Amino acid sequence: MESSPEVTVVVPCFNEEEGLPALLARLRTMRVGRASDWHFLFVDDGSTDDTFSALLRAARDEPWVSVLRHHENRGLGAALRTAFANVTSPIVCTIDSDCTYPPERLPELTALIEQGADIATASAWHPAASSTIEGSRLRLLLSRQVSGIYKQLIGQDVHTFTCLFRAYRRVLLEHVSFRGDGFSAVAELFLKAMLAGYVVREVPMPLEKRRFGESKLKVSDAVLAHAHLITLTTLAVGARQARQALWR
């Protein structure tokens, strides 16, 4: 990139060769009219299929595409950290490569950042979102249950904590770190930002069914990771309440 675009969209990928043509076509369409303001950074997280080669071909043909690579699969959280270390845009988005949230709605999230939010997130569990939600029942149940727990712990009117489909103010990403390598890293970053006082806005949005390939989420690993994160969040909230009590 010769100059920094206004928005960089991070797209983590792991064995997604089947769905990449459809994803790239949708991104190409949504980018019309935005010229050099939007760039798409793909992170190949150690794919063993043709994903990386397909991404290299896309980067060769499309100036708005760039690619980073992990030589082995390290997990979603690790892919995000790699991407965040390589972006300079004032607004950074993260999206699912499987289009379970429609990429065409990204401008709704970036508009909220421009209006003052620090994070804008899609929210399948928001009361105003469509009641029709597709996907693995077990995965959806996990997302809904842990989001409900996090909402109670944080005490804010936010409904969805596990969604990757977000926009961030880049300065937030420079100050809020997260350690998780897997899917729970998305919730970890969100929770730490909220505890630090950053402004969050939700956009009600239905979750659609994956059309290509298979989900990479291992439910058993996710349950353990969220259980650990719930414990850490409980401790952090307790510590914050104790500090507030001292100053009363």
- Closest of 31, 100, 39 to residue 67, by C-alpha: 39
**Cβ partners under 8 Å of residue 51, min gap 6:** 13, 14, 15, 16, 17, 20, 44
Degrees, nearest 5: CA angle 229-233-219:
20
DSSP code for 246: H
Which tokens hold the place of 233? 């969040």
DSSP-assigned beta bridge partners for residue 168: 92, 119
Which pLDDT does position 35 carry in this prediction? 55
Which pLDDT does position 1 carry in this prediction? 42
Which pLDDT does position 20 carry in this prediction? 96
**94 φ, ψ to 5°?**
-130, 135
Domains, the chain: 7-246 (3.90.550.10)
**Cβ pair 210, 136 in contact under 8 A:** no
**Averaged pLDDT, 62-79:** 96
Q: What is the rounded distance in angstroms from the CA atom of residue 50 to the CA atom of residue 44?
A: 10
Amino acid at 130: S
For 200-229, what is each residue's pLDDT tens digit? 999 999 888 766 666 666 778 888 999 999
For 92-111, what is each residue's pLDDT tens digit? 999 999 988 999 999 999 99
Which pLDDT does position 178 carry in this prediction? 96
Q: What is the rounded distance in angstroms from the CA atom of residue 190 to the CA atom of residue 168?
A: 10
Crossing angle between the packed helical segments 137-154 and 185-195, to the nearest 10 degrees: 20
30-34, 141-145, 216-220: range with highest mean pLDDT: 141-145
- Exposed (0-12), middle (13-18) or buried (19+): which is 177, by Cβ within 10 Å? exposed
